[in-house]
Structure 1
Amino acid sequence: MTSTRYTVDDVMTKTVVTVTPDTEFKAIADAIKRWKVTAVPVVADGDRVVGIVSEADLLPKEEFHDHPPGMIDQMRRLGDTAKAGSIRAEELMSSPAVVIGPGASLPEAARLMAGRRVKRLPVVDADGRLKGIVSRADLLKIFLRPDDDLAAEIRREVVDRLFPDSHRDVKVDVTWGVATLTGHVPDTALIPVAARLAQSVEGVVRVDCRLEGPAPA
């Protein structure tokens, strides 16, 4: 018994602005501004992702623009001070890039972003070729599913399957992503199962399970 499984491929941006390892600093900054993105993958050898350049990678150039880093800064922030003097993507990029496959689940992507403290993930195929990019905002798209769609999926995948003989006695309402289940079911042991499965439906914000045992005769 499973609900619709959405993957990275369902929410990722498939048209991606990229640069090559020899792209100059100013061209990278221009691409980020023009396309209103916060980072660009660096690709080489047939769209294989070799790194990623973010706004954060460009900022040291401005930070140390009017005063060169002192000895303490150089010792404490070797990466940043090195980037302050860099002019090409291959020198500025974070490498290897943290990537994910198009078939990965949305929770997998969210956990990887949180664990690696990144805001977006290049999406690559088995050969490392770029297929898209997924951001934290993309992962939130699933919560924009219409309430009617969520209610229909909960009824079809949870209520109808768990309670085939009494599904008509269960009411499912979804408002702003919050699912409310009310009614009477023959087996109270299945009530927490219903709540858990309803919560697992992609796009559900919270479940208010008010199911009860058999109605009094």
Structure 2
Amino acid sequence: MTRTVIAVGRQATFKDVTQNMREWHVSAVPVLEADGRVIGVVSEADLLAKEEYRDGVPAFAEPRERMEQLRKSGALTAGDLMTAPAVSVHEDAPLTEAARIMARKRVKRLPVVDGEGRLAGIVSRVDLLKVFLRADEDIAEEVRHDVLDMLPGANSPLLRVQVEKGVVTVMGELADSSLVPVAARLIRSVEGVVDVRFDLD
């Protein structure tokens, strides 16, 4: 995550929010209470509602989401503009959980909060993709020591781990074949793993 985060208070004006987003090249900003708790997020889509409805209003038959955008088109402060409650993730959550939340909620940036709900940072899609730049040697080392060595029956010296471009291949002898799906699931949870293959005797 990025720890230096541009955020605004609920009383920040429409223009303040727009200027902050432009100056810092971000597509959304968290909205905070005075104690640092995240209460919402203002995105570019929230701001664009003002321009979208400048010349008129939608028909009453429009979907409810469109009516919400109409409401936001008249907003003057971050508190009125924001989408609330904010979709966020706890700072101790694994990257996989952040990725799932972002995919399900269709958000590009996710505020990271501490146990009290205060802003600790922000994670973006780019941050999530950085794990796939991890060195193959580092991935292999973690698979060996944090997965196979800890899995009963899989810590055989006859097992070898090879990683190429994030694809993990486990080779050699495994006494209990029922461990294969368990090992595969655990290996896939290692940051930077693209895929898992087994080449067992």
**Structure 2 match to 1:99:** 88
Normalising by structure 1, what TM-score? 0.81
| Aligned counterpart for 1:25 among listed residues 14, 17, 28 | 14
Counterpart Cα distance in 1 of 2:63 and 2:162: 59
Following TM superposition, by how much is the alpha carbon of 1:85 offset from its aligned partner in structure 2, in angstroms?
1.7
**Structure 2 match to 1:114:** 103
Q: Which residue identity lines up with residue 23 of structure 2 in the other structure?
A: R
Q: Which runs of 5+ in 1 are unaligned?
A: 1-11, 213-217
- Contact 1:191–1:211 (CA under 8 A) maintained in structure 2: no
| Aligned counterpart for 2:132 among listed residues 115, 121, 143 | 143
Q: Which residue identity lines up with residue 48 of structure 2 in the other structure?
A: L
Counterpart Cα distance in 2 of 1:90 and 1:199: 40
**Structure 2 match to 1:201:** 190
Normalising by structure 2, what TM-score? 0.86
When residues 159 and 69 of structure 1 are mapped into structure 2, their CA distance, relative to the original with a 3 A threshold, is same
Q: Which runs of 5+ in 2 are unaligned?
A: none
Larger Rg: 1
When residues 122 and 163 of structure 1 are mapped into structure 2, their CA distance, relative to the original with a 3 A threshold, is closer
**Structure 1 match to 2:74:** 85
Asked which structure has the greater RCO (Cα within 8 Å, sep 6+), the reply is 1
Counterpart Cα distance in 2 of 1:126 and 1:190: 36
Which has the larger displacement, 196-205 or 140-149? 196-205
Following TM superposition, by how much is the alpha carbon of 1:75 offset from its aligned partner in structure 2, in angstroms?
7.3
- Contact 2:9–2:34 (CA under 8 A) maintained in structure 1: no
Q: How many residues align?
A: 198
Counterpart Cα distance in 2 of 1:160 and 1:188: 16
Q: Give percent identity, aligned residues only.
A: 49
| Aligned counterpart for 2:119 among listed residues 117, 122, 130 | 130
| Aligned counterpart for 1:49 among listed residues 8, 29, 38 | 38
SS of residue matched to 2:192:
coil
Counterpart Cα distance in 2 of 1:207 and 1:160: 17
For residues 8-49 of structure 1, the C-alpha deviation after alignment (integer angstroms, 9 at most, x for no partner) is: xxxx11110011112111221111111111100111222122
**Structure 1 match to 2:144:** 155
When residues 44 and 72 of structure 1 are mapped into structure 2, their CA distance, relative to the original with a 3 A threshold, is same
Counterpart Cα distance in 2 of 1:43 and 1:192: 44
- Contact 2:58–2:67 (CA under 8 A) maintained in structure 1: no
When residues 74 and 205 of structure 1 are mapped into structure 2, their CA distance, relative to the original with a 3 A threshold, is closer
Following TM superposition, by how much is the alpha carbon of 1:93 offset from its aligned partner in structure 2, in angstroms?
0.7
SS of residue matched to 1:17:
coil
Corresponding position: 1:174 with 2:189: no
**Structure 1 match to 2:199:** 210
SS of residue matched to 1:87:
coil
SS of residue matched to 2:103:
helix
Following TM superposition, by how much is the alpha carbon of 1:104 offset from its aligned partner in structure 2, in angstroms?
1.5
SS of residue matched to 1:61:
helix
Counterpart Cα distance in 2 of 1:37 and 1:178: 33
Following TM superposition, by how much is the alpha carbon of 1:141 offset from its aligned partner in structure 2, in angstroms?
2.2
Following TM superposition, by how much is the alpha carbon of 1:192 offset from its aligned partner in structure 2, in angstroms?
4.1
When residues 171 and 28 of structure 1 are mapped into structure 2, their CA distance, relative to the original with a 3 A threshold, is same
Q: Which residue identity lines up with residue 39 of structure 2 in the other structure?
A: V
Which has the larger displacement, 98-107 or 38-47? 98-107
- Contact 1:73–1:81 (CA under 8 A) maintained in structure 2: no
Q: Which residue identity lines up with residue 131 of structure 2 in the other structure?
A: I
